[in-house]
Chains A and B, each alone.
Chain A
Amino acid sequence: MAYKIKKEAPVKGLSFTFIEDPKYRSDTVSVRLLLPLDEKLTQIYQMLGMMMVDSTARFPEKSKMAEKLKSLYGAEQNFTFARIGDRAVLGFLVRCIGDRFTIDGENITDEAAQLMLDLLFAPNVSNGAFDKKNFEMVRREIIEAIKSLSNNRHTFALRRSREVAFEGEPSSYSQYGTIEDAEKLTPEELYREYEKMLSVAGISVTFCGSGNNTGAQQLVKQRLTEFAGERLKKAPDIILDDKSLISPSPLRPEINETREKIEQEQLKLVMCFKTSEDDLYADKIACALFGGTPFSKLFANVREKMSLCYYCQSFTMEFKRAMFVDSGVDTANEQLARDEILRQFDLLKQGDFTDEELENTKKYLCGSLRIVPDVAEDFNSWNYIRQARGLDITPEQEIEMINEVTRDRVIKAANGFSLDTVYVLEPDHEDGGEQA
């Protein structure tokens, strides 16, 4: 274990994680803002994030910002929107090569850290409104993103299945929202929401790099600690400080089947199962045994034995206590695939798997975990997800927890899941392909 990890939570609603490993070639500062998720705010947050990384008061033109990043050896500054349970997480990241790799030994990490502070606290704003030109550009980008959502049929089916399965729950809201809502937004409204956002957000900061307690870290730590301290004095009760973000999606009384059509060659089939049990690692193993590895039940049977598809895989959304099965098949084979997927799941529930299959599945999961610390961004993400569940553990401890799961726990976990939603995206023409 080459890494060192240290955590601090100096003020309510603010935490720092320091991940240090001599092998890391880049220095990263990432700031995550934990926020409420409601239908209108998702679009606003998406737009805010995009605008905050595009330009700042110091670099108001995109071209100037791009030049600055290039001068820092191609530093990266990006924004991501994620849902964890029924919360939104806005992720901002600035990454550059470590100072020891610069050609003349120059220090660039302090300047990279300043870029992060700029994007958080010195946006491209005047007279109480975001820059109009930048705002319009981002709005157009959002509108085009909405129009393009169905371009990739596979990801569109996954997106729609999530919306259908979690209908009425905050996690079903699209971060792009609707074109009508985007057209109504103003730069002034966005600025008001930006201020509110900073006053309520739970802030998690992670530093990853080859050194600890660097000038860059000090800079960010000091500014954010001051900021969090001041806002705590003003309105302590509105700050989000969740310890766990689990928001189970309730099982429907009857299975929902939704069918939609689009121009495509292959039918996309997504099935959502939900559970009320809470045995995280048993759920993960059950899902991996079912369809989460290239030697799983679904892979071995639906793909290899029956040749029905190229992909048929399962994955969990642990914060919603849901599991999805995702596949692409010929229209003519839809029922065959559905029947086999459900049959395999029933067999899993009955414990129809060998001890060797169980051990191999654990090995597979543990193998993936062991290499998480090799890559700074993987470690950063993994750590945040665990923190969002209220778990303060290392990958090595998680490996132990996986290895402790017994066969009985896996069977119990599998039996906790029930089919909730079937989403089918059909080709809009009659040619469904040949029968297998």
Chain B
Amino acid sequence: MSETRIEKIVNERTGESYFKVYHSSGLCLLLMPMEGYAQTYALFSTKYGSIDRCFRISGDDDFTTVPDGIAHYLEHKLFENEDCDAFELYAKTGASGNAYTGFERTAYLFSCSENYLDSLKILIDLVQNPYFTQENVDKERGIIAQEIRMSNDVPRRRVFFNMLRAMYSEHPVRIDIAGTEESIEQITPELLYKCYEAFYDPNNMALAIAGRLDVDDVIKLCDEALRPGKDIRVETSCPEEPCEVVTDRIEENFSVGVPMFNIGFKCPPMDRDTQFKMEMAADIMLNLLAGKSSELYRRLTDKELMQVELGREVFTGEGYFSLILSGESVDPDAVLAEVWDCIDIAAKNGFDEREFQLIKKADYGSLVQLLGYAEICAEDMTLTHFIGKNCFDLEETLASITLDDVNKAARELFARDRYTISILR
């Protein structure tokens, strides 16, 4: 077991800082004390999400493929110990607990204004002590089935997942995080334990806390409560994803008032370092392309195709990178035609320098404000840590982006042979 080591991460420009503690257990603690705050927000995350469906750990000969939705199911079940569920435990300390599962990460959290060390102990104990029985696993199935049905009744989600299925043929990002009612039927306590063993080792996790906290007190509690990790090496396997999309069009009827659409532009995956900067450059590029000051926005509103801006997202993760434009329109195909026209113009002429600088300024303002929310600080510390960065790198990387980077993104990320439009009518 190595010794605990503390590193102070400082934003040289503003003087703001947080602590990265490499705990002897193998867990990385990310601690940001925020002066004057009543809230303590803790986020215990594992680098394990719905896309990790095929894996093996050291000692295994073969890869195991697990049922879709198991990471999410595990999140539900880890919220329960032998005697009661997490909510009952947090009720005693006054904390508000929750958890969520994403494509690449599962997180357990609490927010409180008193007794944060007691709540932290509950959080650590819960995550370290799985308790799965046939009975409690079966009991959860009905609840999760209703969660799946509830999600299926949200048109925004339907049109989004349809787009992912049309864009990706092999990558598991095409599968709904919660799985399907059929896939969760196959989940057993044994499989849950197998996933837990592979992905819930402290070396694969991070505990971020922001708000009212004392760094020494947190480390002391972690010394007492954390069990050392086994540093299990987990290898995931993801089928190779072709560059092409499955289909350039997918439609579904769901009785929506105005047709909804997602246009997905599939881009080649890139290494994490390139991706970090490209994600920010692409975000600025989409803003220049489709924001309120853009030619595209003017055309769509003048032609009465849309009344509000297109939604914009850079959707990235391990093995996937895509750009998404979304909205509601009486004629999504006409919107698509305008989108391509404006992409062609941007790729040919590039964007306006003044407008580019304004968007960077606005993005800087947004980063400044977000550091005022304990939840977002904990999220940002975790997300950047998992890709080998720190949360002040966001500001530094933003400052380093040039108009050339953005114009390059417009030229290289769009291609007419790898996009899809998903429409819900």
Among A70-78, A80-88, A199-207, A243-251, the stretch that binds chain B is A70-78
Range of interface residues on B (Cβ < 8 Å): 35 or more
Chain A residues, Cβ within 8 Å of B255? 150, 262-263
> Do A23 and B34 touch across chains, with their CB atoms under 8 A apart?
yes
> Do A141 and B308 touch across chains, with their CB atoms under 8 A apart?
yes
> Do B152 and A294 touch across chains, with their CB atoms under 8 A apart?
no
| Per-position binary interface string of chain A over residues 366-389, scored 1 when its CB falls under 8 Å from any chain B CB and 0 otherwise | 111011011100000000000000
Chain A residues, Cβ within 8 Å of B91? 293, 295, 360-361, 363-364
Chain B residues, Cβ within 8 Å of A63? 292-294, 297-298
Give CA–CA (A279, B309) in the complex, Å.
Answer: 45
Give CA–CA (A137, B112) in the complex, Å.
Answer: 44
| Per-position binary interface string of chain A over residues 211-235, scored 1 when its CB falls under 8 Å from any chain B CB and 0 otherwise | 0000000000000000000000000
> Do B142 and A96 touch across chains, with their CB atoms under 8 A apart?
no
- Say how far A133's CB is from chain B's closest CB, in angstroms: 9
> Do A265 and B139 touch across chains, with their CB atoms under 8 A apart?
no
Give chain A interface residues in 300-327, CB to chain B under 8 Å: 303-304, 307-311
Q: Does B239 contact A (CB under 8 A)?
A: no
The chain A residue sitting closest to B142, CB to CB, is: A307
Give chain B interface residues in 284-308, CB to chain A under 8 Å: 291-294, 297-298, 301, 304, 307-308
With A71-B358, A263-B255, A266-B149 as given contacts, are A152 and B374 in contact (CB-CB < 8 Å)? no
> Do A367 and B364 touch across chains, with their CB atoms under 8 A apart?
no
Q: Does A149 contact B (CB under 8 A)?
A: yes
> Do B153 and A144 touch across chains, with their CB atoms under 8 A apart?
no
Chain A residues, Cβ within 8 Å of B308? 141
> Do B258 and A144 touch across chains, with their CB atoms under 8 A apart?
yes
Chain B residues, Cβ within 8 Å of A338? none
Q: Does A164 contact B (CB under 8 A)?
A: no
> Do A151 and B257 touch across chains, with their CB atoms under 8 A apart?
yes
> Do B87 and A294 touch across chains, with their CB atoms under 8 A apart?
yes
> Do A144 and B94 touch across chains, with their CB atoms under 8 A apart?
no
Which of A25, A147, A263, A363 has the largest count of B CB atoms less than 10 A from its CB? A363
> Do A307 and B36 touch across chains, with their CB atoms under 8 A apart?
no
Q: Does A191 contact B (CB under 8 A)?
A: no
- Say how far A20's CB is from chain B's closest CB, in angstroms: 12
Give CA–CA (A23, B210) in the complex, Å.
Answer: 14
| Per-position binary interface string of chain A over residues 129-172, scored 1 when its CB falls under 8 Å from any chain B CB and 0 otherwise | 00000000110110010111111111000000000000000000
Residue from B96, B112, B143 within 8 A of A309 (CB atoms) = B143
Q: Does A97 contact B (CB under 8 A)?
A: yes
- Say how far B395's CB is from chain A's closest CB, in angstroms: 11
The chain A residue sitting closest to B307, CB to CB, is: A141
Chain B residues, Cβ within 8 Å of A265? 149, 152-153
Give chain A interface residues in 250-273, CB to chain B under 8 Å: 262-266
Among B193-201, B219-227, B365-373, the stretch that binds chain A is B365-373
Give CA–CA (A368, B41) in the complex, Å.
Answer: 12
Which of A62, A97, A147, A294 has the largest count of B CB atoms less than 10 A from its CB? A294
Residue from A73, A293, A304 within 8 A of B361 (CB atoms) = A73
With A141-B308, A152-B155 as given contacts, are A310 and B369 in contact (CB-CB < 8 Å)? no
Q: Does A94 contact B (CB under 8 A)?
A: no
Chain B residues, Cβ within 8 Å of A67? 293, 355, 358
> Do A310 and B363 touch across chains, with their CB atoms under 8 A apart?
no
Chain A residues, Cβ within 8 Å of B362? 69-70, 73-74
Residue from B92, B111, B291 within 8 A of A66 (CB atoms) = B291
> Do B368 and A140 touch across chains, with their CB atoms under 8 A apart?
no
Give CA–CA (A101, B367) in the complex, Å.
Answer: 11
Residue from B96, B141, B147, B156 within 8 A of A367 (CB atoms) = B96
Given contacts A23-B35, A65-B292, 18 further A-B contacts (CB under 8 A): A23-B37, A66-B291, A67-B355, A70-B359, A70-B361, A73-B361, A75-B365, A97-B365, A137-B307, A152-B153, A265-B152, A293-B87, A295-B90, A303-B143, A364-B96, A367-B96, A367-B113, A370-B114
> What 3 pairs across the A-B complex have the smallest Cβ distances?
A74-B362, A73-B365, A307-B142
A-B contact pairs, 22 of them (CB 8 A): A62-B297, A62-B301, A67-B358, A70-B293, A97-B365, A137-B301, A137-B307, A138-B307, A148-B257, A152-B153, A153-B153, A265-B149, A293-B91, A294-B96, A304-B85, A307-B143, A310-B146, A310-B150, A328-B146, A360-B91, A374-B37, A375-B372
